[in-house]
Structure 1
Amino acid sequence: MQHIALFFNVFACVMLTLAFPLPSSSTIHEDELVDIEKRIDHVGRGTWFRPGLGNCGKWNNASDLIVAIGKRLYDRNKGSNCDQYMEIINTANGKKAYGLTRDSCHSCSDDDIDMSPALFKKLAPLEQGVIRVSWHFKNRSWRP
């Protein structure tokens, strides 16, 4: 009788294990793995610059909504944030905007960002020059 009870307990455990679906390789995409990373909120200095050929290898102009992240952050991530959107909030007035990462900024810390004039204007007047911002990267597949 004990052998039958043991058999049924083992059988039940095996069946429960098999009942949980495992993702197949066809349902997991490489960019989804990046999206699982914990969102990191940065708070730092926001400035503006005149874009051109960015460190991501693409040309942009003053009317594009682009961002340059700190050079050390860019290098540490090996440029993997290129073409990734971020959400940016002016902490003084609560205005929110979205920018596409296209460059690195040598004078920026990991928490600072440099924005194109068009993007900066969505948060504050250009004359202000420097603002305090809170920002984080969006999921790689996110688009505004």
Structure 2
Amino acid sequence: MAPIVTLALMAASLLGVMSAPVSHDYKVEVAALNTKYSGYGITGTDKFHRGACHDIEYSSSDAVVAINAAQFGDSKHGSSACGKYVKVNRADSDSNYYIFKVVDVCKDCEENTLLFSERALREFSDQDHLSIDWKLIEDGEEGKEDKEQKEEKEEKEEEDDHDDDHTSKPESSHHSDRTYRGRGTWFSDTRGSCGVDFSQDEMIVALNEAQQGEQYGPNSKCFQKIRVSVKGEPSKSVVVRVVDTCPHRYCSYGQLDLSQAAFKKFAPMSKGVLDLEWSFV
């Protein structure tokens, strides 16, 4: 009987090894802030883990992102990427970047890979798998980037003035000179974050949260006017007034939600999404 007992013990030992948890050798570290990573962007709502960021609710129609498990961190101990943002650009073009909120972990994604919701990925690609560059950033980085870009533009204008041997010009607002680009959709509300009632027959707009500023703060864009045109058609433009905010979960930096009347100046509402260029006036 001894050989049988020995064989049984060996089988039990082997079975125990086979049933032991498999280690994926994850670093369990959150990606470093403001550090460039090169990897892939993919989409697939079935790959979202759901629940990794316990206090963040989202739906499959939101423009959001999940980070691979190796760079997500540990949400149980408050050291994860939950609630932070990723700044993304296509690897073949660094002239345009997009910002999305991190709401989950992708357990099946390889390191340096980001999982986008369908709505998020379609903002910059019609592919389901593409090469990207990305950084993990804190909320509010958009304002910092906007300031840096503004300063760079001012420096370039000063250099151009010097090169052309022009005398100093009166100080002007660079704020109204800058052109922004982003997706444009339409919305249905009749009261907004600026505290006024409005009609969808008016030429109005909801500005993305990253550029809106606090309602009563010094940088609030409430009631400012914006000139909007479809990309590539600058001669066909409309002027709209800011009366509302499009939350970050729906609108990334540079994006607008137009009133139905304003949207129909460019296309029927059934089109849904436009590629816009706009500036403050």
Report the TM-score range of the alignment, normalised by the length of the smaller protein: 0.5 to 0.7
Which runs of structure 2 are paired with 1:24-63 in the superposition (5 Å)? Answer: 36-38=173-175, 39-63=177-201
Higher relative contact order (CA 8 A, sep 6+): 1
Q: Does the C-alpha gap of structure 1 residues 93 and 40 become closer, same or farther in structure 2, counting only changes over 3 Å?
A: closer
Matches within 5 A, 1:58-137: 58-75=196-213, 78=217, 80-91=220-231, 93-94=233-234, 95-106=236-247, 107-137=250-280
- Structure index of larger Rg: 2
The answer for the alignment partner of 1:16 in structure 2 is none
Pairs aligned (count): 105
For 1:101 and 1:80, locate their aligned partners in 2 and report how far apart those are by CA, in whole Å.
10
The superposition leaves residues 52-97 of structure 1 with CA deviations (integer Å, 9 ceiling, x where unpaired) of 1111111111101100111121136846211111100011555311
Question: Quick one: distance in 2 between partners of 1:76 and 1:57?
Answer: 12
Partner of 2:154: none
CA contact (8 A) 1:50 1:61 kept: no
Alignment check: 8 A CA contact 1:49 1:117 kept: yes
Give the secondary structure class of the aligned counterpart of 1:64. coil
- For structure 2, which runs of at least 5 residues remain unmatched after alignment? 1-170
- RMSD of the alignment, in Å? 2.1
For structure 1, which runs of at least 5 residues remain unmatched after alignment? 1-32, 139-144
SS at match of 2:261: helix
> Is 2:213–2:221's contact at 8 Å kept on the other side of the alignment?
no
What's the TM-score, normalizing by structure 2?
A: 0.35
* Identity among equivalent pairs (%): 30
* Equivalent position SS for 1:72: helix
Q: Which amino acid aligns with 2:239?
A: Y
One-letter code aligned to 2:264: K
AA in 2 matched with 1:115: L
Per-residue deviation, 1:133: 0.2
Q: 1:92 to 1:126 in 2, by over 3 A?
A: farther
TM-score if structure 1 supplies the norm length?
0.66
Matched residue of 1:54: which SS? coil
Q: CA deviation at 1:37?
A: 3.4
- Measure the CA separation in 2 of the matches of 1:85 and 1:103: 12
